A and B are shown apart, each in its own frame.
Chain A
Amino acid sequence: MKEAATLVNPGPIPATGDRIRRAASRKPAVRIDIERLSLSFGATQVLKGIDLTVEAGEFFAFLGPSGSGKSTLLRAIAGFGPAPEGRILVGGEDIGACPPWQRDVGMVFQSYALWPHLSVARNVAYGLEERHAPREEIRRRVAESLELVGMAQFAARYPAQLSGGQQQRVALARTIAAEPRVLLLDEPLSNLDAGLRVQMREELLALQRALGITTIFVTHDQEEANSICDRIAVMAGGVIQQVGRPVEIYDHPGNEFVARFLGAANLIAGRAERDGSRGVRFRSAEGGFELSLTSDAALGGGHLMIRPQGFDLVEADGPAAAGAGVQIVRAVVRSSEFLGGVLRYSVTAERGVALIVDVRHDRGRPALQAGQSIGLSLRPEQALFIAS
């Protein structure tokens, strides 16, 4: 995981020397344990028995659709919202009984929540003032934090005079100036436009690596989570659906929801059953579409998942491609969608099964026409059976 940091271009964040000195002077990173956490808004249960460990120094994401409880869980860690049942331990210490101001977990709000009546410098100094730090230290750490996010020259401005991206940086500086044990980020990039979002997420990662602070990042954008987080907890309906590294979850979704939520997927309901000695065979619930699976596949009822890029395009009437267990599915193109790097075809395969198939777009090559017959070759490891 640590190697990943070196791959990221620290880019616009200046003062590398400062950052390292600062990183060295920080408190050691702590881990967060959440045990059987449940929470209700009135009669509605929003979190249902969450168990989770975030390792020290990890960049962790809560990923889920709106209403999944991810923000509620983050706010519960910070001490906001109704009191939950269960335990929250930060660095082994139960903080459940502490009011928000005694928890020492820094939070960056989705709306940034900069105070409009205080200048940038006063905003950043706030946490240190509340901790009764000496004036000289406040001055120094405010300057350092603003330097760290590249906002030093804006110290005298007021929040209303800053752009969205600048406000975002000030909000970050304000939180890290107080040197919290944990950094909580509540959809911090959702109010930025697309280009800035990509830049800011790289800066965020560089900053987190430099500080080495345990960080939880809430987002509904799987690309955001995949690109910068060490591990992800996918949430839905107040329950953690799956925890793991981004690639792990993408390739081995634990259930139908996770498969659908992380990227496009073909999901076909049906059963997987042992097929003599040769292996496992999948048969769809409707239409009797069949495919062979790898012999270690799960058995029983569930869904077959194939990512759109899992197919390779072959001639419709061409010979079966070489390779162990490669199967050919015959299909007819219905429509196509140009996504830039790839063309996404909606096709009707044998037995009326609807599939989406991604084909790399080569410059100048025309798209296949609707009604055209094609063959799709599928290597067995590209098909995953998810038992329910």
Chain B
Amino acid sequence: MQRRRSLRPYAVYGVIALFLAIFLVVPVAEVILVAFQDAHTGAVTVVNFQDFFANGLFRESFFNSLYVACVSVVIASAFALPLAYFTSRFNFSGSVLIQTLSFIPLLMPPFIGAIAMQLLLGANGSVNLLLRQHFGFTIPFMEGLNGVILVDSIHYFPFILINLAASLANIDRSMEEAAQSLGSSGLRLFRRIVFPLSMPGFVAGASLVFVKVFDDLGTPLLLNVTKLLPVQAYLRVTSIGITDPMGYVISCILVAFSVFAMWVAFLGMRGKDYATVQRGGGGLAKRNLGPMESAACYAVVLLILVIVLAPHAWLLLLSFATVWSFSVLPSAYTFAHYHSAFTTAIGFILNTVLYAGLAALIDVLIGTAIAYLGQRTEIRFRKWLDHVASAALAIPGVVIGIGYLRAFNSVEMPFSDQSMATWWGVLVVALSVRRLPYALRSCVAGLQQIPVSLEEASQNLGATSFRTILRIVAPLMSGALAAAFVTSFATAAVELSATLMLVSRDADAPISYGIYLFMQTVSGRGSGAALGIIAVLIVGIATFVSHRLLAGARSRVA
């Protein structure tokens, strides 16, 4: 009594598997393969890695990258820990302020803020100018690696804050109360109960920050710091060419460290999803603050917020400044940069909307299909699509870029003499592959919220599985799908590392490339800043919309 099985799921599986194979697995595999190949004979060898570590510049870059990533995690934690602790522990009226404002850095990729930070904290930035005038000394905030560390930790600390705050909020109050009733209190209670229970969230956030900083290409490029691994990879490939094995060796190292950090996060989370063990949650007991304590908390919070929001303020100033050098604030203001952004640079904006929109569309379609195949069918290896697509999270943009150049450079596009690697469509695909993990999680969560019985009830009443997807699954998932689209769109709109590698001419470039281009010259900085503000607005509006959609979706299904 074999029920007739539809072939449609297998066809969809095949198409997605092919897409992931061509645009993720093959390029990355090729990068790794080339790193282990002799450049001339093609034999398998580790000689490229020996060459890498024999070279003083590469060795220095390697240790610099590690140093920058580790110190950034420490500084980001220093920003995030007090904020997370204050909001979860005290009845603190600043909590809403923290929750709202601390997300703002995420709206702006760090490279956009890098120049603004130079103007604020650089050798001739506003702060050092004031220090020199009044105290006769300066602080090298932005010298060399310091600049990268500062810019990246300011921009990425919300990852730790969000994860840590979520962990703290999920701790069941009864856990703390049980410890108290057994005689534990104060610092001891924190060390033995609260801290271990919030560890998974902290580890997840910290490893994400590590990966982001370790792989960041845009910030060091704009700050002119070249002795870092992603920059070296980029420079080797763009100056010497795609046959040089060093770019591939660096890519391998980047991937290895990303995978390692993800693995650490996984170990931290595994079997420690304490939140689901206990129903209720509700977070720790909050206590009221005295007036002095409250003032102290506010002082700390405001200090942190001033630091993390300063790049935005200075970027805004820069976008309105006519001339701004060797002065604390701009000497005159103008709208000319916005005018030029909307006239000469309108192509960047339109390209961004087109590319990010298409990439997000691809992500939502593939994300939904993978989620459905994984949760609602019996296809063998159905979870593999999810695993492979999620693995893109551990692949730095530089590596995707190099992989695409390697894999598609020799493929000619029809009807033009362009190579496929530099065709704008491939950039769209690169963006969609890089952002697929985020969209996929949203789709998977959206589908998980729909009990299977809702679909069974539909089939029981005579609707085929396809009609059921159309009439029941799709409407119930619409909020999650829209959120997935907007998340993908917002993050794809400001992607820089793969974009830098794959854009061949200005006419094809999106806004992130445009900002990078403008920011390199002093005369273009104003327009670059204006474009940056426009990018922040695009991402900000998209993020706001996505939050609203998700909240709407949750309230309807629950």
Contacts and interface: CB of A to CB of B under 8 A. Distances in A.
A298 B465 CA distance: 54
Contact of A115 (B4, B454, B460, B467): B454
A144 B476 CA distance: 28
Contacts of B464: 99, 101
Interface residues of B, number: 25
A97 B3 contact: yes
B521 interface: no
Nearest to A110: B453
Interface in B434-486: 451, 453-454, 456-465, 467, 471-472, 475-476
Contacts of A115: 454, 457-458, 472, 476
Contacts of B303: none
A178 B460 CA distance: 10
B411 interface: no
Contact of B460 (A78, A98, A131): A78
Nearest to A83: B3
Contacts of B3: 79, 83, 96-99
B450 to A, nearest CB: 9
Contacts of B476: 115-117
A165 to B, nearest CB: 18
Contacts of A131: 462
A180 B464 CA distance: 16
B556 interface: yes
B475 A117 contact: yes
B454 A113 contact: yes
Tell which of A97, A106, A130, A131 has the most Cβ of chain B within 10 Å.
A130
A127 B2 contact: no
Contact of B456 (A105, A107, A127): A107
Contacts of B4: 97, 99
Contacts of B456: 78, 80, 100, 107, 109, 113
B463 A107 contact: no
B1 interface: yes
Interface string A62-99: 00000000000000001110111111100000101111
B322 to A, nearest CB: 54
B557 interface: yes
A66 to B, nearest CB: 17
A175 B457 CA distance: 9
B407 to A, nearest CB: 39
B49 to A, nearest CB: 44
B460 A100 contact: yes
Given A97-B3, A97-B4, A126 B458 contact: yes
Contacts of B453: 109-111, 113
A96 B460 CA distance: 14
A175 B458 CA distance: 10
Given A97-B1, A97-B3, A99-B4, A127 B454 contact: no
Q: Is the interface of B mostly helix, strand, loop or mixed?
A: helix
A80 B452 CA distance: 11
A113 B462 contact: no
A130 B457 CA distance: 12
A117 B462 CA distance: 19
Nearest to A87: B1
A96 B456 CA distance: 17
A83 B464 CA distance: 17
B1 A83 contact: yes
Contacts of A98: 3
A174 B463 CA distance: 14
Given A79-B3, A83-B2, A127 B462 contact: yes
Interface in B469-511: 471-472, 475-476
Contact of A111 (B378, B451, B461, B475): B451
B462 A101 contact: yes
A109 B457 CA distance: 7
A146 to B, nearest CB: 16
A141 to B, nearest CB: 13
Contact of A96 (B1, B461, B556, B557): B1
Contacts of B451: 111, 113
Interface in B76-91: none
A100 B2 contact: no
Nearest to B467: A130
Tell which of A88, A99, A109, A113 has the most Cβ of chain B within 10 Å.
A113
A178 B461 CA distance: 7
Contact of A105 (B457, B460, B556): B460
A110 B451 CA distance: 12
Interface string B1-30: 111100000000000000000000000000
Contacts of A87: 1
Contacts of B463: 101, 126, 130
Contact of B461 (A84, A85, A174): A174
A78 B453 CA distance: 12
Tell which of A78, A87, A97, A101 has the most Cβ of chain B within 10 Å.
A101
A104 B460 CA distance: 7
Interface string A132-151: 00000000000000000000
A226 to B, nearest CB: 27
A132 to B, nearest CB: 9
Nearest to B476: A117
B461 A126 contact: yes
A100 B459 contact: yes
Nearest to A171: B457
Tell which of B461, B471, B472 has the most Cβ of chain A within 10 Å.
B461
Contacts of B460: 78, 100-101, 103, 105-107, 175
Nearest to B1: A96
A98 B460 CA distance: 12
Given A96-B1, A105-B460, 7 more contacts: A78-B456, A87-B1, A99-B465, A102-B462, A103-B460, A116-B556, A174-B461
Interface of B: 1-4, 378, 451, 453-454, 456-465, 467, 471-472, 475-476, 556-557
18 contacts: A78-B460, A80-B456, A82-B378, A88-B1, A96-B1, A97-B4, A99-B459, A99-B464, A100-B456, A100-B460, A101-B467, A109-B456, A111-B453, A113-B457, A115-B457, A127-B461, A130-B462, A175-B461
Interface of A: 78-80, 82-88, 94, 96-107, 109-111, 113-117, 126-127, 130-131, 174-175, 178
Among all A-B residue pairs, the 6 with the closest Cβ atoms = A127-B461, A96-B1, A113-B453, A113-B457, A130-B462, A100-B459
